[in-house]
Amino acid sequence: MSEPLLKVKNLRQHFKISRGFTVKAVNGVSFEIFPGETYGLVGESGSGKTTIGRSIIRLYDPTDGEIFFNRDKISGELSHKIWRRLRKNMQMIFQDPMSSLNPRKKIGDIIGEGLDIHKLYSTRKERNEIIGEILKKVGLSPAHAERYPQQFSGGQRQRVGIARALVMNPKLIIADECISALDVSIQAQVVNLMKDIQHETNCAYLFIAHDLSMVKYISDRIGVLHKGYLVETGTTREIFSNPAHPYTQSLLSAVPQPNPAVEKNRKLISYDAAAANYENRKMRRVNDDHFVLDWQEG
C-alpha cells in the first residue's frame, strides 16, 4: 500500500475545565488515512469523534500524541510554512450549513476567501472563473456567487460548504456530520456529490457521523470510538461482517433498517458501557487490517 496521507499516533485531547476537573475527550487514538480513501469515524455522542476531527485540523492543540499529514508533522508548534501547507491541503465541512456560513458575505467571497489568502490566482477574472467552476461542480450556478447564504436552502448551503472546501484542491477533507442536518432526499444528493468529487480529484475524506448505514455506504475503512478510545478499526466489510468488540456489536445491532420484518424481530445486543474500562489496554490484531482494543479481563 502507498504511504499514508494522515497518520495519527496516540492522540490525546484533554480539556481542563477547572482546577480539579479535566474532560478526557480523546485518550490515545491512532489511525491512518490513505490518499483517496474515505475513513469513517463512528460513535455515540460524547465519544470524541468531533474532537478528533478538530484536533487533526488543529482547531485544538493536542494534549499529547503526534499527527503527520503529507509527511509534515502537524502536532506541536508549527512553522509558518507548515501552517500554510496544512491550511491549504486540509479542509473541513461543518455540520450545520446554517451557522457555518457568514451571513454578511456573498457566496463568492465565502468560497474565494481561501484563494485570496493563499493568492492562488493572478487576476480578478481568474478568481471569479475558479469560483464559477467550483459552483458548477457542486451543482449550483456561477450566478449564485453574488447571493448571500440566507437566499439558499439547507441542501444548497451544504453545497456551498463543500465548494468552499474543494476550491483549495485539498488532499484531505474532514466532513463532520456534514449530512445529518439535511433531509433524507438531500442527504443522498450530497453523498453522491462527495463520491463524484472523490473519483475526480482523488481527495481523502474523514467522514464523521453517527448514521451507520450512511457510513457503511460511503467509507472504505471505519474506526469505532467509545469514551474517547478507538475500540475497533478495520475495513468496512470486516467491521460489519465480523465485529469483534462487544461495543461495536451492540452498536451494529441497533442500526435501524428500512425493512419492517427485520425491524420487528430485531434483537438488541446490550453492552454495559458504564462498567467498561479501556485504560491501559492494547490494540490486538484480528486479521490483516482489522484491530480491536482488548476488553477481556486479565
Partner 1 sequence: MENILSIKNLDITFRTNAGNVHAIRGVDFVLPRGKTVALVGESGSGKSVTMKAVTGLLDTNVLINDGKIFYNGIDLLTLSKKDLRRKINGREIAMVFQDPMTSLDPTMTIGEQIMEGMLLHKKISSSDAREKSVELLNLVGISEAERRMKNYPHQLSGGMRQRVVIAVALSCEPKILICDEPTTALDVTVQARILNLIKNVQAEMNLSVIYITHDLGVVAKVADFVNVMYAGKVVEVGTVEEIFYDPRHPYTWGLLSAMPDLETEDDRLYSIPGSPPNLLHEPTGDAFAPRNKFAMKIDERETPPMFKISETHFAATWLLHPDAPKIEMPAELQARLIRSRKAAGYE
Residues that bind partner 1 (CB under 8 A): 44-45, 153, 155-156, 183-189, 191-192, 195, 210, 212-214, 216-217, 240, 250-251, 253-264, 266, 268, 271
Q: Which amino acid is at 232?
A: E
Cβ-Cβ contacts under 8 Å for 31 (sequence gap 6 or more): 8, 39, 223, 230, 233
| Angle, CA of 254, 256 and 259, to the nearest 5° | 135
Smaller CB distance to partner 1: residue 165 or 193? Answer: 193
Smallest gap, in angstroms, from Cβ of residue 145 to partner 1? 20
Q: CA separation (Å) from 287 to 4, 37, 242, 243?
A: 19, 20, 11, 12
Q: Measured on CA atoms in the order 113, 177, 98, 142, is the torsion positive or negative?
A: positive
Cell, residue 127: 478568481
Smaller CB distance to partner 1: residue 257 or 277? Answer: 257
Smaller CB distance to partner 1: residue 124 or 199? Answer: 199
Smaller CB distance to partner 1: residue 127 or 159? Answer: 159
Alpha-carbon gap, residue 171 to 131, rounded angstroms: 19
Smallest gap, in angstroms, from Cβ of residue 137 to partner 1? 16
φ and ψ at residue 88, rounded to 5 degrees: -80, -40
Alpha-carbon gap, residue 249 to 254, rounded angstroms: 9
Q: Which amino acid is at 103?
A: P
Q: What is the dihedral of CA 108, 109, 111, 114, to 10 degrees?
A: 150
Helix, strand, or coil (residue 212): helix
Cell, residue 186: 438531500
Smaller CB distance to partner 1: residue 105 or 210? Answer: 210
Smallest gap, in angstroms, from Cβ of residue 190 to partner 1? 9
Smaller CB distance to partner 1: residue 120 or 154? Answer: 154
Smaller CB distance to partner 1: residue 168 or 215? Answer: 215
Alpha-carbon gap, residue 25 to 61, rounded angstroms: 13
Smaller CB distance to partner 1: residue 79 or 259? Answer: 259
Smallest gap, in angstroms, from Cβ of residue 121 to partner 1? 32
| Angle, CA of 173, 174 and 175, to the nearest 5° | 105
Q: Where are the alpha helices (DSSP H) in the chain?
A: 49-56, 80-89, 107-118, 124-137, 154-166, 184-201, 212-218, 236-241, 246-253, 260-264
Smallest gap, in angstroms, from Cβ of residue 257 to partner 1? 6
Smallest gap, in angstroms, from Cβ of residue 93 to partner 1? 18
